[in-house]
Structure 1
Amino acid sequence: MLPLALLLLGIGLLLTGISLLSDSLKRIGGPRFLHLAARYMTPRWKALLLGVGAGAALQSTSAAMFTLASLISVGSVTASQAMSVLTGFSVGNCLIPFLISFKIRTAVFFLVGVSSILLYFSKEERLRNVLSVAFGLGLIFLGIEMMLDGVRPLRAEPWFEQVLAVAGEWHGLNIFVGVLLGFIVQSSTAVVVVAIGLAKGDILTSEEVLLVIYGAALGSTAFKALLGAALSGSARQLVRFENLFNVTGAALFIIFYYIEIYLHIPLVMALIARLSPDPALQAAWAFLLLNLSAALIYIAIHDPIAALLARQFPPAAKEVVIVVPATPGPESKASALDGQDQG
């Protein structure tokens, strides 16, 4: 029972750490993101770079979507500009898997201990936010260490070896597990972190981790699709854009996987094996490559996708619509039109 208890404790600490880290980063960077998002939207490359930086700093795509939707509703940005930010955001959001792939067990104990003690005595809000970031990051690392302590003894159990053997034979099972976890946890990044922890403990092979990551992208998309059903107007555009982005990246890399397995054409697995021999780092690289590939695709087709989504989900009646000049010229603030019926 102890190994199972440690495994559950590790997963709980890891998810709590991700939640705490995300909330703390939003408190620190959220107001700044609002300010920058309202100012640096043109040309498009600035919006993309803003998204990359915001993704690395905030680590929450859902928070970014709702923030951008609120800016659209008051006429500060267009839906097309917000989509550029989300494209970059998905790339910047890949930072955490790289951080947690390092092996720093002793340093993690110091990080959790020192940050928690300082949090207890600190009263100043800004300092508490910074310490909460450190504590959240420490909990993620600590959760992985607890997971490893729990799963290592399980390797000696015959039933556990049988489960791993089945998972290794049925590729679709790993994808399904990723989909299920992505839907439940509502974050593909969180699932990637769990998968990296299992890779560190030699529970999942590099190939199995990749399939879990690809499935997680689909699972988190399924949750956002349910979320989007309750939204309308430009907010619905952003949710649909993010879903298309994730599905495109996951589907493309699943196809790459089977091409590499059955046709023996070196693609993603061959590339990440060259980048690092460590399965944990390979998983982080795969997650980055998935999002980067999808970003490049949607940068190339940005205008037709934005136009298509605008037709499918026109602005809600109470939104302020920004009219962008069709031809290049001196930058001027677009006229704001009330979207309500004019009679």
Structure 2
Amino acid sequence: MLAGLGLFFVGTALLDRHLRALAGRRLRDVFAGLTDNPWKAGWWGFCIGAVAQTASAVTYLAISLVNTGLLPARRALTALNWSNPGTCVLIFFLTLPLNVFTAYVMGVAGILYAFQQPKNWRHAVGFIFGIGLLFYGLFLMQDAGAQLNQYDWFRELMESAHGQYLVVFFVGVLLTVLAQSGNAVVLVTIVLAQAGVLGEDEAVIAIYGVNLGASLITHILTLRLKGTAKQMAMFQVYYGWLGTLLLVPLFFIEVWGGVPLVLAALKLTNLPLAQQLALTNLIWCVGASLVVVIIERRMERMLLQKYPPDSNESDDRPRYLYPRCEEDPPACLDLIAQEHRRLAARLSQYFRLPSGLSGNALATALPRHRDFTKVTDEVSQVLHALMDQRQSGDLAGGLARALERHDLLCALEREFFQVLPRAKQYAGGPDSLGHRTLEGLEAAWLTILDAILSQDPDDLDLALMISADGGGALARLRENFLEPATLANREEQAAALHLLGGCERLIWLANRLVMSVQDGGGRDLPDFR
């Protein structure tokens, strides 16, 4: 049993890893196309759930697309709703008698996987090998399950669970949260029921508990989210509660009241026990999805009211990255590029600091600096996670450019934080040397920022020209200090001279950032200006 469970989890991990490599970006493209048709959103949500096999993975995908503006929140909720029945599809295949076929598939795929042949199909081979291990692990558990009755302690434990429906329900919830896989616990439940050590009624209520536990996994993994992202996560949590409130009372009405409902309908199908239990899992998901369809508008309004979007809600955390996004490196690099654009745009906030000695610009800038640092630290963790995967080819080049841009953005923000608050305090009036220097710097930065956001080749060329040593921006800044001394007193000139040194460092770093963006080429990302 333990060996079979271990192979099942290894197969699940292989399937997930290679599936992301095969279809990660395609799934994002399909999801992003669900903009105006609820039927299309529901169908593709079902298909994506069948491929991803975990509600939490689909939730992360929806969150990233909603955050980037590629998918409206309403369509994301529709797709999420019907992705849940899709996650039940794998269970049906695992209940079919495919032992010999699985042995051939696993053998051939295992040999090809070991020798990494053919190289262009390595992810497809890894995916097939993962499916083979997953099935083989299940068959091992099925063969061993029949022998569990030989152990008195296990038989007595299962007999003590007979009729203890609430206990079995909460054990299903707990095991699902601990295993982080609802399908794994459902399969173990089916194996125990087939072996005769767990009653059919107990197996059904255990599966109900598994589905509630799956929604709790999403809740736990998304505790730190806010606003629209939190709406997506809590939709899945409420989905789990709705399914529980619908099916669990019906179960007890049938068992204790003798009213023929779900259990009676399952027996009428005359299917093998394993397929009846797989059907139970599907009934739970479809039932919950149908309830959601009826109250979808109310749920949407409630989620919007309880977790309202806030323009400043993600200042101290990434907006586009989501948990475990590094498992899909190509899509992750796209999200990091968008996060870098957002960070570059936030640097303009330093020009809006209060001016004058009484403005306390440093106190205003400090929270912005801390929030910026928190975001860059989290992005840095994702970048290093990608580095640990040892990327190759184009991905390695893209990762190197992303690391370079990240370091430049961090250095640029530190210069903004060190230079702008003091410059704002000592800028003086509109005709002062410091004020004109700040105006020149802001004009140069806005041109550079526009080029970074648009990635238009002409804009990038202009940004490089004005930020180059001896270019337009630095030349205008230096010209301020060639004016007659009567235009500024000695104290003002000293402050402006200090400002000029910081400005030169800022322009130089901005020049390097533009060069990095230009070298990286356009990635066909939306303009977030």
TM-score bin, normalised by smaller chain: 0.7 to 0.9
Quote the Cα distance in structure 2 between the aligned partners of 1:289 and 1:166: 27
Out of 111, 114, 121, the residue aligned to residue 115 of structure 2 is 121
Structure 2 letter corresponding to 1:279:
L
1:317 aligns with 2:311: yes
Partner residue in 1 for 2:272: 278
1:196 aligns with 2:218: no
1:245 aligns with 2:246: no
Quote the Cα distance in structure 2 between the aligned partners of 1:106 and 1:32: 33
Partner residue in 2 for 1:211: 205
1:132 aligns with 2:126: yes
Asked which structure has the greater CA Rg, the reply is 2
Structure 1 residues 13 and 162, CA gap change in structure 2 (3 angstroms): same
1:258 aligns with 2:252: yes
Partner residue in 2 for 1:106: 100
Out of 48, 56, 72, the residue aligned to residue 50 of structure 2 is 56
Quote the Cα distance in structure 2 between the aligned partners of 1:145 and 1:160: 20
Structure 1 range deviating more: 126-135 or 32-41: 126-135
User: What is the SS of the residue equivalent to 2:147?
Assistant: helix
Structure 2 letter corresponding to 1:295:
S
Quote the Cα distance in structure 1 between the aligned partners of 2:119 and 2:237: 36
Quote the Cα distance in structure 2 between the aligned partners of 1:69 and 1:228: 10
Out of 65, 71, 81, the residue aligned to residue 65 of structure 2 is 71
Structure 1 range deviating more: 105-114 or 66-75: 105-114
Structure 1 residues 251 and 26, CA gap change in structure 2 (3 angstroms): farther
Contact 2:155 2:197 in 1 (8 A): no
Where does structure 2 lack aligned partners over 5 or more consecutive residues?
Answer: 320-341, 353-529
Quote the Cα distance in structure 1 between the aligned partners of 2:20 and 2:292: 26
Out of 198, 211, 214, the residue aligned to residue 220 of structure 1 is 214
Contact 1:199 1:209 in 2 (8 A): yes
Structure 1 letter corresponding to 2:51:
A
Partner residue in 2 for 1:332: none
Partner residue in 2 for 1:330: none
Quote the Cα distance in structure 2 between the aligned partners of 1:185 and 1:82: 27
Partner residue in 2 for 1:234: 228
Quote the Cα distance in structure 1 between the aligned partners of 2:122 and 2:168: 39
Partner residue in 2 for 1:4: none
Partner residue in 2 for 1:334: none
Structure 2 letter corresponding to 1:158:
D
Where does structure 1 lack aligned partners over 5 or more consecutive residues?
Answer: 1-6, 321-337
Contact 1:183 1:221 in 2 (8 A): no
Report how far residue 258 of structure 1 moved. Answer: 0.7
Contact 2:190 2:277 in 1 (8 A): yes
Report how far residue 52 of structure 1 moved. Answer: 0.8
Alignment of 1:168-187 (within 5 A): 168-187=162-181
Structure 1 residues 129 and 205, CA gap change in structure 2 (3 angstroms): farther
Report how far residue 316 of structure 1 moved. Answer: 4.0
Structure 1 residues 118 and 203, CA gap change in structure 2 (3 angstroms): farther
User: What is the SS of the residue equivalent to 1:266?
Assistant: coil
Out of 69, 80, 89, the residue aligned to residue 83 of structure 2 is 89
Structure 1 residues 126 and 312, CA gap change in structure 2 (3 angstroms): farther
Report how far residue 165 of structure 1 moved. Answer: 0.8
Quote the Cα distance in structure 1 between the aligned partners of 2:207 and 2:275: 13
User: What is the SS of the residue equivalent to 1:169?
Assistant: coil
Contact 1:30 1:58 in 2 (8 A): no
Structure 1 range deviating more: 120-129 or 223-232: 120-129
Quote the Cα distance in structure 1 between the aligned partners of 2:169 and 2:150: 25
Quote the Cα distance in structure 2 between the aligned partners of 1:217 and 1:79: 24
Deviations 1:78-108 (A, max 9, x none): 2221111111111111111100011222222
Contact 2:56 2:217 in 1 (8 A): no
Partner residue in 1 for 2:295: 301
Report how far residue 124 of structure 1 moved. Answer: 4.6
Structure 2 letter corresponding to 1:261:
V
Quote the Cα distance in structure 2 between the aligned partners of 1:316 and 1:276: 53
Structure 2 letter corresponding to 1:240:
M
Contact 1:87 1:295 in 2 (8 A): yes
Could you say which structure has the greater relative contact order, defined with CA pairs below 8 angstroms and 6 or more residues apart?
A: 1
Quote the Cα distance in structure 1 between the aligned partners of 2:119 and 2:246: 44
Deviations 1:184-206 (A, max 9, x none): 12232222122222233333232
1:161 aligns with 2:155: yes
Report how far residue 305 of structure 1 moved. Answer: 0.6
Quote the Cα distance in structure 2 between the aligned partners of 1:61 and 1:221: 8
1:34 aligns with 2:56: no
User: What is the SS of the residue equivalent to 1:102?
Assistant: coil
Report how far residue 126 of structure 1 moved. Answer: 5.2
Quote the Cα distance in structure 2 between the aligned partners of 1:196 and 1:270: 18
Contact 1:17 1:135 in 2 (8 A): yes
Partner residue in 1 for 2:38: 44
Structure 1 residues 198 and 21, CA gap change in structure 2 (3 angstroms): farther
Q: How many corresponding residue pairs?
A: 318
Deviations 1:143-198 (A, max 9, x none): 12222333333212222221111111311221122011111122322221222222
Quote the Cα distance in structure 1 between the aligned partners of 2:93 and 2:303: 35
Out of 11, 15, 20, the residue aligned to residue 9 of structure 2 is 15
Structure 2 length as normaliser, TM-score? Answer: 0.57
Contact 1:37 1:50 in 2 (8 A): yes
Query: Aligned Cα RMSD in Å?
Result: 2.2
Structure 1 range deviating more: 223-232 or 50-59: 223-232
Quote the Cα distance in structure 1 between the aligned partners of 2:103 and 2:117: 23
Structure 1 letter corresponding to 2:112:
L
Quote the Cα distance in structure 2 between the aligned partners of 1:168 and 1:264: 17
Deviations 1:7-60 (A, max 9, x none): 111111112222222332232222111111111332211111110111112213
Structure 1 length as normaliser, TM-score? Answer: 0.86
